Amino acid sequence: MDGFDQLPDSLILLIFNSVSDVKSLIRCRSVSKRFNSLVPQTDSILLKIDRVISSESDSDSLFLTLLKSFFNFILPKPTQSPLPNRTHTYPAQILSRFQRIRELHVELPAGDLQLEKGTVVKWRAEFGETLKTCVIFGFRLGHDGNYETEFAGGLKRRMMWTISALMAASVRHFLLREVVREHKGMEELVITDREGEGEAVMEKQGLREWREARESHVRMEEEEEERGRTVVPSVRMRMRHKPRLGATLVVVRAVKDWTHNGREADVEDADLAVKAFGNGVYGDAVRELLKARSYLLEMNSF
């Protein structure tokens, strides 16, 4: 009898939850019959995806493929082919080996935004049925103080950041729909990337909203399948910019979830921004941006 045979199942599961990495856990199944039966009961899982599968060219990320189709929609060609079918079942197939997933962290191989050299954009989005909130923080390295000129377009450029970040977030939300559908006990889903570009989050309430909506909106799923992403709802956004820092902060909320204006909205912005970036390396810059004047903008669903 080895040491593990003397440990209760609950303690071994605690160890497996600490390991969390899917590849390591699958290897553990081959250790013994007991491990083989316990690994599927692990409830905290980390899935690192080596590659996002797309039927388009290997050189295109899933987001870039969708961005191309977005601009083709705006500027249609005489003979435009439909969006290609993509394989989104890979995560669902791997995770079908686990029966009790409660917390799932998925790590994609890279970020999706195609940015000019020296530009950094980070984002964090929360989802339910669709997008609820998104916080976007961007800056340019080595700016010379004449930020509006250097950034070639000012407001227009920052709006492109925002649209790109919202589309990237909606692609990630769409990517894991089969996983959410199959694992009804899941209470938290976080989708990040190895470059630390963006984070899409679904918490317990958001997961419940998604499942309830999908039970009654079959047409919605058909539209999302055609687009290859979740529809971004009509949103309102408050943008703050500091030329001295060369930095911009955008706080986006779905119109249906917009409840406050004025001082109360400032407090909500601060809560969301600090939650997204306050404890990281960008915390001081974000707090400085929150002191700046904000501009309210609206965007229709797309």
Over its length of 302 residues, how does the chain's per-residue pLDDT go in tens digits? 567 778 899 999 999 999 999 999 999 999 999 999 999 999 999 999 886 554 444 444 555 544 444 444 333 443 333 333 444 557 888 999 999 999 999 999 988 888 888 889 999 999 999 999 999 999 877 655 554 444 445 778 888 889 999 999 999 999 889 999 999 999 999 999 999 999 999 999 999 999 988 776 656 667 777 778 999 999 999 999 988 878 999 999 999 877 666 678 788 889 999 999 987 788 899 999 999 999 899 999 99
Domain-located, residue 148: yes
Torsion, Cα 286 290 292 295, to 10 degrees, reads 110
Domain-located, residue 23: no
Specify the pairing of strand 247-254 against strand 131-140: antiparallel
High-pLDDT (> 90) share of the chain, %:
52
Instruction: Round to whole Å and give the CA distance between 274 and 27.
Output: 39
Per-residue 3-state assignment (H helix, E strand, C coil) for 144-160: CCCHHHHCCCCHHHHHH
Domain-located, residue 64: no
pTM above 0.85, yes or no: no
Domain-located, residue 117: yes
Long-range contacts of 210-216 (CB under 8 A, 24+ apart): 210/127, 210/128, 210/129, 210/177, 210/180, 211/180, 211/181, 211/184, 212/129, 213/129, 214/177, 214/181
Domain-located, residue 98: no
Q: What domain range includes position 217?
A: 111-299
The residues pairing with 241 across neighbouring beta strands, listed in sequence order, are 248
Domain-located, residue 215: yes
Domain-located, residue 143: yes
Number of domains comprising the chain:
1
Query: By the 8 A CB rule, do 196 and 108 touch?
Result: no
Helix (H) or strand (E) holding 26: helix 22-28
